[in-house]
Amino acid sequence: MLHDVEAVVLVGGKGTRLRPLTLSAPKPMLPTAGVPFLAHLLSRIREAGVRRVVLGTSYLAETFSDHFGDGSALGLEIEYVVENEPLGTGGGIRNVYKHLSADDVLVFNGDVLAGTDLTAVVDTHRRTKADATLHLVRVQDPRAFGCVPTDDDGRVTAFLEKTEDPPTDQINAGCYVFRREVIESIPEGRPVSVERETFPGLLSSGARVSGHVDVAYWRDMGTPMDLVRGSADLVRGVAPSAALPGPTGESLVLEGARIHPTARVAGGTTVGRNVTIGKGARIEGSMLFDGAVVGDNARVLHAVVGAGARIDESALVSETVIGDRAVVGAHCELRHGMRVWPDVVLPPHGIRFSADV
Ligand code: GDD
Ligand code: MG
């Protein structure tokens, strides 16, 4: 148990990739499998035995503290530290330095869903007497991430953030262990990228930077489709979390939802509070936010349906994001990455892929 380790969670920055998914919450607070996304990460931190968590943000602290408070309901002590202007990942870590007292500090990107054994990451850090240790995972396309090659001893040899020509499929998973003094050495009071400045700087100064590679569940929640897949994994129990407000299964149905007995709801769908699902509708691996309405025989497949949005009779939304309160008219067909902005109303038959009606 990691009683002697503190955690820092980065939840600031611009985070624009999900917009405009919904206007109702900033990304770390978006309901994901029934609770704010961040609650899943906090539950894993708690399960590893860490007590103290510092949230480093550039948003209003109330965004988080209104929900998590002092953390005692989660068995944590949470402190909130706000940047006056976004300081980047490294600047955000440096900005919380004076709130830390442990020798080893776990730092998390707040938008990653992972099943990593945190104790094992800290063990690697201590065993290799590292200045910093990075959790690394292998992905199919490393170009959107920090590419991190290691040598036979598990020593990190380079850090290449978002490179077009990655030399390995091993990437930065967004979870680090730092010796506290290393955090102190990050320049204060200006934006710093931990990926582009701090890690390359540590490597060129000869610091020991270790990699901890594993094959546990891992997903970056950067895009809406990552979010919808991650949410379904949480509901089905594929992604571990102690914060799920119900048993794992094909669907998570929150209070006040009304689902017609002939509707089929599966694939790790979250049915939000007071959602209505009509006769013969089919919902697969989707997120239906509070108060959404799905009409008779409509199909919602791997999609996000915003709060109060309506998918009318026989419409199809597949791999799309429907903003809060938007209306997808009867028989519309929306597919493959489309996004409907909040409050937009598509008339019946207004947009289709096929000619038949
Ligand atoms: N406090 C604070 N201030 N946090 C920030 C800031 C800031 O100015 N900028 C970004 N963050 C937080 C984000 O909220 C997020 O939780 C985390 O830092 C990473 O920032 P992203 O903007 O999501 O970066 P990314 O997803 O493109 O890439 C990062 O994550 C990948 C893994 O998911 C990098 O660390 C990559 O190297 C890594 O592979
Ligand atoms: Mg990210």
Percent of the chain topping pLDDT 70: 96
- pLDDT, greater one: 94 or 15: 94
Evaluate whether 328 touches 315 at the Cβ level (below 8 Å).
yes
Average pLDDT over every residue of 155-168: 95
Contacts of 78 (CB under 8 A, 6+ apart): 42, 53, 54, 55, 64, 65, 68, 69, 70, 71
pLDDT band at 90 (very low <50, low <70, confident <90, very high): very high
In angstroms, the CA 261 to CA 141 distance is: 41
pLDDT value at position 63?
A: 86
163 has a pLDDT exceeding 80: yes
CA of 148 from ligand 1 middle (Å) equals: 16
Average pLDDT over every residue of 17-24: 52
CA of 269 from ligand 2 middle (Å) equals: 23
Average pLDDT over every residue of 246-252: 96
Strand partners for 294? 277, 311
Domains of the chain, with CATH numbers? Answer: 5-220 (3.90.550.10), 250-346 (2.160.10.10)
In angstroms, the CA 73 to CA 53 distance is: 13
Evaluate whether 4 touches 100 at the Cβ level (below 8 Å).
no
Evaluate whether 231 touches 243 at the Cβ level (below 8 Å).
no
pLDDT value at position 22?
A: 55
13 has a pLDDT exceeding 90: no
Which residue, 315, 234, 287, 352, is CA-closest to 18?
Answer: 287
Average pLDDT over every residue of 98-125: 97
Which residue, 170, 144, 166, is CA-closest to 156?
Answer: 170
* 0.75 exceeded by pTM: yes
Per-residue pLDDT tens for 258-292?
Answer: 999 999 999 999 999 999 999 999 999 999 999 99
Q: Which helix (H) or strand (E) holds 330?
A: none
Compute the half-sphere exposure of residue 29: CA atoms within 13 Å on the CB side of its CA. Answer: 18
pLDDT value at position 21?
A: 55
pLDDT value at position 181?
A: 96
pLDDT value at position 306?
A: 94
pLDDT value at position 16?
A: 47
357 has a pLDDT exceeding 70: no
Phi, psi of 174 (to 5 degrees): 80, 30
178 has a pLDDT exceeding 50: yes
Tokens at 302, concatenated: 């791997």
Percent of the chain topping pLDDT 90: 89
pLDDT value at position 17?
A: 47
144 has a pLDDT exceeding 70: yes
Give nearest CA residue, ligand 1 atom 28: 145
Mutation to probe ligand 1, out of 96, 111, 156 (largest number of atoms < 8 A from CB): 111
Give nearest CA residue, ligand 1 atom 35: 174
Cis check: omega of the bond before 20, within 30 degrees of 0? yes
User: Which residue has 């990107």 as its token pair?
Assistant: 109
Q: Which amino acid is at 221?
A: M
Mutation to probe ligand 1, out of 11, 60, 109 (largest number of atoms < 8 A from CB): 109
Evaluate whether 203 touches 156 at the Cβ level (below 8 Å).
yes
Evaluate whether 28 touches 111 at the Cβ level (below 8 Å).
yes
Lining ligand 1 with CB less than 6 A are 10-13, 15, 56-58, 83, 86-89, 92, 109-112, 145-146, 161, 171-172, 174, 195, 220, 222
